[in-house]
Structure 1
Amino acid sequence: MSKPLLKFCGVRSLKDLKLVSQSQADYIGFIFAESKRKVDPKAVKAWISEMNLSGKKLVAVFVNPSEAEINQVLTEVPIDVIQFHGNESVEEIKKVRDTFKGTVWKALHHHPNTLEEMKEYQDIVDGFIIDSRLKGQWGGTGVSFDWSAVPHYITFTKTNNKLCFIAGGVNENNIEKLLTYNPQGIDLSSGIEVDEQKSKDKIKQVEERVLKYVNLSR
């Protein structure tokens, strides 16, 4: 198998960003919604100015944002991807697409009707994040879902020329199991943290396991 795309999300400090910028991640995610990982766009702008991101793409994660909230972030940070992680409608996302020239993803929770939801958004987004469903939380739960459903999501997105990232509780101890389902992308946040900070050791372990699996499967 080819190496899945890696998204390291929930960066919340300059120290976090330095670690992730030196990693093998393809995407770096910042949370601009109410969360313990929420960051200020002006702070992110300052952090970015201090380092070379080595071509990594920046993802802005929003939960039911207003147009003003999105514009505030886009004014400060050179965002490549907007990720909608709430219950935004197709119409609301289309309004953003009309002006934003980058990539748009929609996060959906895993449940029996997720594939039907993906069909609703397939014409308006470029990709999906499939995350765990936990009452009262949109994401960042540290809990994984039943990955036996992953092949169904991957089949759908590949058929429709979309991307699909698997999120929710992925860490160095279980990522090899997830890799057996050949995900297009993997989204990690709490799984690469220790004491609510990104961990160089955990990132290294995740990357080693990914590369080992990819090389063995060739």
Structure 2
Amino acid sequence: MKPFIKYCGAVSQEDVECIAQSQADAIGFIFAPSKRQVDPDQVKQWLTESQCEKEVAGVFVNENIQKVCDITQQVPLNIVQLHGDETRDQAKEIKQQTGAIVWKVFHHVPSIKETLDKMTAFAPFVDGFLIDAKVKGMRGGSGTSFTWEAVPVYKQQAKRLGKTCIIAGGITPETLPDLLAFGPAAIDLSSGIEENGKKSSAKIKALEERMLNNVRISK
């Protein structure tokens, strides 16, 4: 089966149109301080003008709950991605107030039990877990992958908890086949489909062709 695909970090009308024409299931925007940070008003305009029908995700880092709720209504967002040090209570309140799907981001660490325990602790309050590489000084978007041999462990834990498991970090058209061997249920990528800071239709096409080839072979 093809994984759920989210292309994140769109920063322009061109990026949005590029993703709108792709086979992605969701498009993501960064509302936290970052080189890819965007304004909600702009995002709403881009989505309207491009007639993008993808699910829309917003990335937040330790944001005020009211602001998360306001942006969720304004854009509007289907998915709220919490990329900071948000607590279980904050995640619960955001889910209750927005009615959106909530993903909590955790970083892969060598002591994998630490991350598995966090997944268990947050399970009652979120809908999915996004596992990303841990890079010093960065919350995400590093373009660095973690040890994908760990993917089945995270996937099994999420399944046991009845949640979605999304894999991020260092996914490109070249590395995708290696990741697909571990059967991720969902993937999230940003820099892996960019050229010169812009979303690349050529890279997206290459990635999706490799994904389709893999799906056909696996059947």
Contact map agreement 1:41 1:72 (CA 8 A) in 2: no
Alignment of 1:33-44 (within 5 A): 33-44=32-43
1:146 aligns with 147
3-state DSSP class of the match of 2:140? coil
Give, in whole Å, the separation in 1 of the partners of 2:152 and 2:195.
Answer: 30
Q: SS state of the match for residue 97, structure 2?
A: coil
Q: What aligned pairs does 1:111-130 form with structure 2 within 5 A after superposition?
A: 111=109, 112=111, 113-130=114-131
Identity of aligned residues (%): 44
Contact 2:143/2:191, CA 8 A, preserved across alignment: yes
Deviation of 1:182 after TM superposition, in Å, equals: 0.3
Asked whether 1:184 is paired with 2:182, we answer: no
1:47 aligns with 2:52: no
Distance 1:67 1:117 in 2: 21
> How does 1:167-182 map onto structure 2 within 5 Å?
167-182=168-183
Amino acid at match of 1:117: K
Query: How far apart, in 1, do the equivalents of 2:73 and 2:160 lie?
Result: 35
CA root-mean-square deviation: 0.9
SS class of match (2:202)? helix
Instruction: Give the match's secondary structure for 1:98.
Output: helix
Q: Deviations over 1:103-124 (max 9, x none)?
A: 1110110012211111111111
> Who is 2:157 aligned against?
156
What do the CA deviations read for 1:175-208 (whole angstroms, capped 9, x no partner)? Answer: 0000000000011100000111100111001101
> 3-state SS of the aligned residue for 1:82?
strand
- What do the CA deviations read for 1:147-195 (whole angstroms, capped 9, x no partner)? 0100000111112221111000100110000000000001110000011
Displaced runs of 4+ in structure 1, greater than 2 A?
none
Deviations 1:15-74 (A, max 9, x none): 0000000000001100000110000001001111112223x1000110010023213312
* 8 Å Cα contact 2:73-2:98 kept in structure 1: no
Unaligned runs of 5+ in 2: none
Q: Which of 88, 91, 95 is the aligned partner of 1:90?
A: 88
1:77-131 deviations in Å (ceiling 9; x for gaps) = 0110101001101011111122111211101100122111111111111001100
Alpha-carbon separation, structure 1, partners of 2:73 and 2:92: 20
Distance in 2 separating the partners of 1:5 and 1:176: 15
Of stretches 154-163 and 31-40 in structure 1, the one that deviates more from structure 2 is 154-163
How many residues in Structure 1 have an aligned counterpart in Structure 2?
216
Question: 3-state SS of the aligned residue for 1:10?
Answer: coil
Q: Which residue identity is paired with 1:99?
A: Q
Secondary structure, aligned partner of 1:99: helix
**Secondary structure in structure 2 of the residue aligned to 1:209:** helix
- Structure 2 match to 1:109: 107
Aligned twin of 1:15: 14
Q: Distance in 2 between matches of 1:71 and 1:117?
A: 24
TM-score by length of 2: 0.96
TM-score with structure 1 setting the length: 0.97
Corresponding residue SS for 1:109: strand
Q: Quick check: 1:108–1:128 contact (8 Å CA) kept in 2?
A: yes
Residue of structure 2 in register with 1:211 after alignment:
212
Q: Structure 1 or 2: larger helix share?
A: 2
Amino acid at match of 2:164: L
